[in-house]
Amino acid sequence: MAIYRGPGGPGDATTDAASEAALVSTLVTQAQTSAANASTSANNANTSATNAANSATSAATSASSAAASLAAIGSSVTDAANSATSAASSASAAATSATNAANSATSAGSSATSATASASAASSSASSASTSASNAASSASSASTFATNAASSASTASTAATNASNSATAAATSASNASTSATNAANSATAAASSASTAFTAATNASNSASAAATSATNAATSATNAQAYELSANEWATKTSGPVAGGEYSAKYHAQAAATSATNASNSASSAATSATNAAASYDSFDDRYLGAKSSAPATDNDGDALLTGAIYWNTTANQLYIWDGSAWDAAAFNVTGGVTAFNTRTGSVTLNDTDVSDALAATTGAIKIPVGTQAQRPTPTKGMFRFNDDTDSFEGYDGAAWGAIGGGGGATLLLVTDRSGATISVPLINGFLAITNRSGGTVNVPVS
């Protein structure tokens, strides 16, 4: 009976079956290892996706912080960019892990295929061994058991490979999602940067507006100050009365007060003028009642038609004579048109005064006559016979044609006996103890004599 040696190897059927079973076990172990690697890669991909999501969340948080705080805009944008970079790196790592998982799944699939092929070959060998089992039934039965176990292992490996493939697909999906999240995070970071730029622009505009507002406030304050100065100046131009406002010009109130004062003065002047006019009219009426003017005949009434007042006068143009009303008749005055005295001391006509008239006039009173009084400096140009009272020497003096000399009385003059060059003695009056000496220029010097 022929014996099956297996595919190309020496030995009996039992040895070949054991070798195949060992090979199948090794392949199953490799498939399990590949499946485990695929699961690890999937976990890594999931972790990377989570990291990407966390990075995206961090990017969103950084963008929100950038919008909330203008002072941290630069830092937040940098953090958002770094987070986006980290997310991109994580997504790339996830994609790499997914690729590795896919490669591991492919390797597991290849191992499973090899295991299946080996299982098929083992099944063929088992069939051949069954054909040869007539001589080795126990060995064939053991080989059949091992073949069944190998088939189970191969099935398990195939299931593991399928699961690994599914895991790889899930990992690839997670990686894709992580990439999308990373893209979204990058977009969010870009939007955050744009928002930050907009916020910075708004802040710049706000700063410019604040600066403009400050300038406007300064201008408003200046305008208010100027308005106060103008108001003060206007108030002074309107009400100041203590002096000129500027350039010698005065306020309206000052001029108004001056005008009021002028008006009051004008009113007072008008009142005074009216009073003066009334008084003048009364005075003129009084004068008109006393001097009746020039008339050709004696009037019987005054110019107003009223009774004649005693002392009234008029000029008679017919007789060229002044007449006075004595209360009952018109009397001719003492002089006529020629200015001559027409009556004196019972004499009428052209009267000439004589010494007797003067003596009689002086003797008719018990009083005194007053002569001129003055100082020596006030002496007039002398003419012989002048008589006056010297106010410096308190004495009467007269001019004899050559010099002024004292006249006894009034000053209590004392005579001083003086001998001249010829030996003659003359008497010189002393006035109040002074000797009056006339110098060459005609001036008089009083020399005290004890």
DSSP code string of 339-385: --B-EETTEESS----HHHHHHHHHT-SS-----EE-GGGPPSP-TT
Question: What pLDDT, on a 0 to 100 scale, did the predictor assign at position 63?
Answer: 47
Question: What pLDDT, on a 0 to 100 scale, did the predictor assign at position 1?
Answer: 45
Minimum mean pLDDT among 98-107, 279-288, 384-393: which range?
Answer: 98-107
Distance CA 51, CA 87 (A): 7
- Most trustworthy range by pLDDT among 62-66, 203-207, 291-295, 338-342: 291-295
Minimum mean pLDDT among 74-88, 158-172, 225-239, 402-416: which range?
Answer: 74-88
Distance CA 413, CA 390 (A): 13
Residues 6+ away with beta carbon under 8 Å from 337:
320, 321
- Please measure the distance between the N-terminal and C-terminal CA atoms of the chain and give it in whole angstroms: 216
Question: What pLDDT, on a 0 to 100 scale, did the predictor assign at position 171?
Answer: 59
For residue 146, what are its two tokens? Answer: 């091992």
Minimum mean pLDDT among 226-230, 260-264, 281-285, 424-428: which range?
Answer: 424-428
Average pLDDT over residues 166-183: 71
Distance CA 206, CA 91 (A): 40
DSSP code string of 404-420: EEEESSSS--EEEEEE-
Residues 6+ away with beta carbon under 8 Å from 10:
none
Question: What pLDDT, on a 0 to 100 scale, did the predictor assign at position 340?
Answer: 56
For residue 183, what are its two tokens? Answer: 């893209």
Which candidate, 337, 332, 295, places its Cα nearest to that of 316? 295
SS3 state at 403: coil
* Residues present in the chain in total: 450
pLDDT range class, residue 388, cuts 50, 70, 90: very high
Q: Is 80 exceeded by the pLDDT of residue 202?
A: no
| DSSP code at position 307 | P
Average pLDDT, whole number, for the chain? 73
Burial classification of residue 189, based on how many CB atoms lie within 10 Å of its CB (0-12 exposed, 13-18 middle, 19 or more buried)? buried
pLDDT range class, residue 40, cuts 50, 70, 90: confident
pLDDT range class, residue 256, cuts 50, 70, 90: very high
Say which residue, 256 or 356, is predicted with more confidence: 256
- Most trustworthy range by pLDDT among 8-22, 45-59, 232-246, 345-359: 232-246
Residue type, 382: P
pLDDT in tens, 134-172: 554 554 365 456 547 755 755 765 685 577 568 657 756
Average pLDDT over residues 173-196: 72
Average pLDDT over residues 218-240: 87
Cα distances (Å, whole numbers) of residue 371 to 368, 388, 389 = 10, 6, 7
Question: What pLDDT, on a 0 to 100 scale, did the predictor assign at position 136?
Answer: 45
- Most trustworthy range by pLDDT among 55-64, 188-197, 214-223, 297-306: 297-306
Say which residue, 376 or 189, is predicted with more confidence: 376
**Strands across the sheet containing 395-399:** 373-374, 387-390, 395-399, 404-407
Say which residue, 352 or 378, is predicted with more confidence: 378
- Most trustworthy range by pLDDT among 46-60, 405-419, 430-444: 430-444
